[in-house]
Every structure is written in C-alpha cells, then in structure tokens.
Amino acid sequence: METADKATSASIERMLARLAHRLLELRTERGWTLEELERRTGVSHSTLWRFERGVTIPTTIFLAKVCNAYEYTVSDLFAEVENEETPASSGPVPSSTR
C-alpha cells in the first residue's frame, strides 16, 4: 500500500508542477506582469507568484478568476495540463516574467 501512496503522491506533484508551469506560460504569452494579472483578477501579485511557482496549491476560486482573465475554462486548463509533459527545469524563473 505504501508504494501505491508514494506513486500517487509523485503523480500529484508532477501534475501540480505542470499546472504551475502552465499558469506562468499563460501570463508570459500575453506579455502581462504579475501586477497586470492582479489588476485583472483581484488576486494579489504575491499570491499569483506563489501559485505560478508551485509554492502554493491553487484553489478553485483562484483558478476560476485566472481562467476568466485568460478567457479559458478551468476544464481547458486541466486538459492542457494533463497532456503536457513535466517542465524540464524547476529552476528559478527569469526576473523579466515577474
């Protein structure tokens, strides 16, 4: 049973890493700063930063607000995340995207 739990935890961690990566990609694809996304969503830029880096697990409310700003559905976001490969690097994000 312990091995199955570890595999499930690893799978969830990979999915959350892909979600964080995709959230960052969506913002940078639009050329938006964290402050711009904050203006559009009402979510503080520090909270946005933590979600984009996978430091905090996003809530459903957060995902709905961000998806609305990107003109996405939460379903579309998760479909992309499920089909995306895990980012090659989880290293620091360049400061130009902050």
Per-residue DSSP letters for 25-41?
HHHHHTT--HHHHHHHH
Structure tokens at 30: 């639009």
Please tell me the distance from the alpha carbon of residue 88 to that of residue 75, in angstroms, as a whole number: 24
Q: Write out pLDDT tens, residues 14-36.
A: 999 999 999 999 999 999 999 99
Question: Quick one: fold of 2-85?
Answer: 434 Repressor (Amino-terminal Domain) (1.10.260)
Domain boundaries, the chain: 2-85
pTM of the model: 0.78
* pLDDT in the model for residue 86: 53
Q: Which two tokens stand for residue 50?
A: 């933590």
Residue ranges of the chain whose pLDDT lies below 50: 88-98
d(Cα 73, Cα 75) in Å, to the nearest integer?
A: 5
